[in-house]
Amino acid sequence: MKTSTTNLISTATHCPYCGLQCAMKITRDDRAAVPARSATVEGRQFPTNRGGLCQKGWTSAELLRNPDRILTPLLRRGSRFESVSWEAALDYIAAGFQDAQRVNGADAVGMFGGGGLTNEKAYMLGKFTRVALGTSNIDYNGRWCMSSAAAAGIRSFGVDRGLPFPVTDLTGAKAILIFGGNVAETMPPFVGHLSAAANAGGLIVVDPRRTATAMRAEEGGGLHLQVQPGTDMALALGMAHIAITEGHIDRTYVDTRTKGYDEYWPEVAQWDPSRTERVTGVPVAQIRRAVEILAHAKRDEVGSFILTARGAEQHANGTDTVSAIIGLALLLGLPGNRGSGYGCITGQGNGQGGREHGQKADQLPGYRKINDPAARAHVAEVWGVDPDSLPGVGKSAYELLDSLGQPGGVKALMVHGSNIALSAPNAGHIVDRLRSLDMLVVCDFVMSETAAMADVVLPVLQWAEEEGTLTSLEGRVLRRRRAVAAPEGPRSELEVWQELAVRLNQPAHRFPTEPQVVFDELRRASKGGIADYSGVTYQRLDDGEAVHWPCPDTGEGNTPHPGTPRLFLDAFATSDGRAAFVSIAYGGQTEPLDNEFPLLAITGRVLAHYQSGAQTRRIRELSDAAGEMFVQAHPDTAERCGLRNGDLAQLVSRRGTTQARVHCDETMRLDTVFIPFHYPDAERANLITNPALDPTSRMPEFKVSAVRLENAT
């Protein structure tokens, strides 16, 4: 997939940012003294982005020549870092791991991964943790992204894949409902797939804010359902009530393809339109119209879809909220039909693949459960170890971090591809926990806020310097190709884990460093699992660009399996092939408002930044476009708090305080303020967020916090 014109070398690859995984071409001049500095990026044709890129994609080459790049291992000496050799750094880390485990047991060492790691690295991180270290304490930042939607999808459909259909199925649909997603800012090329629905007046957006996506819906005659923060579940139950009582239910579908309706209906029956409006703040007429748009589009076979995203999912009741939304989709007969469906918009670049192959506390490769004896036996055979030697289920992400330095908790932590000092909920508390560790090791290519706290920082490769695979939000396995040479110094995490494994008395061959070799092992480990990659090969990906899982190996000499772009067309992945309605009860908001904390603060993204901003804040064009940290509030809300537009304010919650510049916006709800979560230091949004956990997914309550707004000067 490389082309050359004289000294210009072009490589086809994919964007380093979100789960849409837009296709791009990186071109470099081999005559340049440092070819990476000559790298340029342009979009290329691919089903997801159709040649387009967002501002983050267009500027992604700037990461490859960023002056903040870490080039040597760094070892803390008091308050400063000292450059050391790789051998010295790895010796120090291995000794620290061994000391922690000798004194406190195997689980005294923890691993924290990321949804941006390639499939190969996510797989090998899980293997290294469980085999070389023997600890159960591994989880990753995807727990804070997709876990509620994943849990809800598994209990209704038997499988979790963000979009169980290609994103192109949305392109011609005339009705699309998005619960809690602002794709116009988080993944702009996705918006092109919403145009038909928007132009037909069939785009419906559920969001407390009038976002760019909500405005696109309104411009075409669609709907913005400006829900009170945290009441998405109530809205979904109310919509389901209307669907049933006003004749929009697809009775044939419900009778032949689902189960559990009789247990589901009693809760829905309580959500008459007037109660739904009272709780959510959405007018009955709008709720009724939204149901009609979806139902009529399904009946007329012009495409009807319901999608969820972080706004509906990042709550302490996120799993039940998504289950309520899935229930609505089942009533209308959407999942498992061509031209209609339900799906979840995955956020991180490898948010889908990252949760399939073993860096999650309860999982083994192929989306197998680590407490399943058959799964343990299969994976242990591939790894060449005794199944009984594998640890059990570990702590979820927040619980792992909350245990740091505590009696019986993690004493040494290694972090990969995550900036937890900024991104964790109740961040001030988590920073205190990080400081209590005996040893913190961070693998990164820039000095993130978490890396700055570390005892050891290991410089690793960037996206365009490595080979591997990723899996997009639609379950499409893609090739990441090396487009530029890495500078001298940084290494792949695969090399880091092999070197550490040898120091921990493991054979080197058990931890290969060549991505294709690792992928071939991943294929064997995933074989027969829910996320079966066994029929996917590098050669197939190079020849045909991408394959959707599941894609089982059909055996030598047989026609290769074509992959599965659309799940559930014939049956769901449940024991009886039927999708399950889940009976749930709405319990209200997690954190009450009172006189001291009278406002609801919600968090989210802005167009120019990505995740914690550790990368995008270092790109001048993006940083300038995003501007400074802000709090968006209605002018009347600001005035009641003694503030005006442009004032410096602080938001105070029961957990902490963050600082932001007031942006007055008359479209905001009077009870709601919004802050982005990309900014560091005293402007960290997660200093105020609530760590209350979903009982099923262990997702924290990121989205809604009770706060007060006051003058900071």
Q: What 3-state DSSP class applies to 637?
A: helix
Tell me the residue type at 285.
Answer: A
Q: pLDDT below 50 — which residues of the chain? A: none
What strands, in cross-sheet order, belong to the sheet with 23-29? 2-5, 8-14, 23-29, 40-43
- Helix (H) / strand (E) containing 564: none
Give the residue from 245, 255, 226 showing the smallest Cα distance to 333: 255
Q: pLDDT tens-digit profile of 603-613?
A: 999 999 998 98
Q: Within 10 Å of residue 240's Cβ, how many Cβ atoms? A: 29
Distance from C-alpha of 334 to C-alpha of 624, rounded to nearest angstrom: 42
Amino acid 35: pLDDT: 65
Q: Which pTM was predicted?
A: 0.96
Q: Within 10 Å of residue 571's Cβ, how many Cβ atoms? A: 14
Residue 286's contacts (CB-CB under 8 Å, 6 or more residues apart) are 223, 225
Give the residue from 358, 361, 357, 356 showing the smallest Cα distance to 401: 361
Give the residue from 693, 653, 699, 658 showing the smallest Cα distance to 675: 658
Give the residue from 614, 637, 667, 140 showing the smallest Cα distance to 358: 140
Distance from C-alpha of 304 to C-alpha of 487, rounded to nearest angstrom: 49
Tell me the residue type at 237.
Answer: L
| Alpha carbon 185 to its chain's center | 15
| Alpha carbon 412 to its chain's center | 25
Half-sphere exposure of 541 (CA within 13 A, CB side): 27
For residues 678 and 613, the answer to whether their CB atoms sit within 8 Å is yes
Q: What 3-state DSSP class applies to 3?
A: strand
Give the angle 513-518-523 at the CA atoms, nearest 5°: 180
| 143-162 exposure pattern, b = at least 16 Cβ within 10 A, e = fewer | bbbbbbbbbbbbbbbbbbbb
Beta-bridged to residue 469, according to DSSP, are 479
Distance from C-alpha of 313 to C-alpha of 432, rounded to nearest angstrom: 27
Angle, helix 493-503 to helix 86-104, in steps of 10 degrees: 60
For residues 230 and 315, the answer to whether their CB atoms sit within 8 Å is yes
Amino acid 594: pLDDT: 94
**Domains defined for the chain, CATH in brackets:** 2-65 (2.20.25.90), 74-144+350-548 (3.40.50.740), 147-344 (3.40.228.10), 599-711 (2.40.40.20)
Beta strands in 84-218 (DSSP E): 109-113, 138-140, 175-179, 203-206
Give the residue from 97, 87, 33 showing the smallest Cα distance to 65: 33
Instruction: Pick left, alpha or beta for residue 423 (phi over 0 → left; psi -120 to 50 → alpha; otherwise beta).
Output: alpha
